[in-house]
Amino acid sequence: MKIAVYQSGSDAVIDKPTRIACLAQRAREARDAGAELIIAPEMYLTGYNIGRDRIIQQSERLSGESLSAVADMARDIGIAIVIGFGELGEDGRNYNACALFDKTGKRRLLHRKIQLFGDLDRTCFAPGNNMPLVIDWNGIKVAMLICYDVEFPELVRSIALKGCDLLLVPTAQMAPFDRIAEMMVPVRAMENQLFLAYANRCDQEGELNYVGKSVICAPWSDLARAGDQDCLIIADLDFDALEKSRKEFPYLRDRRPESYFGLLGDV
């Protein structure tokens, strides 16, 4: 199975229709290269560091016009799409969210960022409080996290224990945190024995410089990695090799939770 990551840059600080058009162009390129799924960055539809007022103004319900356009895009182009956006929840709260639409345009997954990052997130969003779902998609088990979420090993491990094969992570990783993309993300893939796709930006937004370095990881190596330019990266995921790796590195099987159960409790 081939998947693609869209590292965005040239479409920064522009309107939603233009962002959607840029994504559609990349989605066609990914499909033509044989990819079954494309992942766009965190808060792709609106921008991320644009201030609370603009975030609130541009956030949408799940039935909103822009998300409907992305669903139509997935169906018309024939590729699954993961997109980051500001969600106006039915509870009236605003969430930093991402959704997976399959190639029929059906929304299969929704994730609300659990670990909010500093005032940038906390002044604009409520935290998601539901553990990430793991679903069957195209014969594999898939889950999503957003940016800072993946830096908490408990979240990724909980997904791995549910049998996740492929973890999709839209992000807006900025300087000076380059080592997250360079070091921590590959380690998450290895210690949990799953594929991990990390989709970042490579532009500037206000005082934030996004570092790029998007990556698609296997437990044993990086399969594709971007530099600091707007681009599409594509990798072929070998699930037979993943099963072999899980036997050679049986971290999940060899866990002894009875010896450290308190680590995840209120201690």
Chain segment 36-73, per-residue pLDDT in tens: 999 999 999 999 999 999 999 999 999 999 999 999 99
Of 22, 113, 151, 164, which one is the catalytic site residue? 113
Q: Can you say how many angstroms the Cα of residue 177 is from the centroid of all Cα atoms in its chain?
A: 17
Model-level pTM? 0.96
Q: Map out the domains of the chain as residue ranges.
A: 2-252
Identify the three-state secondary structure at position 69.
helix
Q: Residue 208: how many CA atoms within 13 Å on its side-chain side? A: 20
Of 22, 124, 147, 164, which one is the catalytic site residue? 147
Q: What is the pLDDT of residues 117-148, one digit of tens each?
A: 999 999 999 999 988 999 999 999 999 999 99
* Contact criterion met (CB below 8 Å) for 222 and 187: no
Q: Does residue 60 carry a catalytic annotation?
A: no
- Segments in the chain below pLDDT 70: 10-13, 262-267
CATH number for the domain formed by residue range(s) 2-252: 3.60.110.10
Of 16, 36, 42, 60, which one is the catalytic site residue? 42
Q: Does residue 29 carry a catalytic annotation?
A: no
Q: Does residue 22 carry a catalytic annotation?
A: no
Question: How many CB atoms neighbour CB 151 within 10 A?
Answer: 18
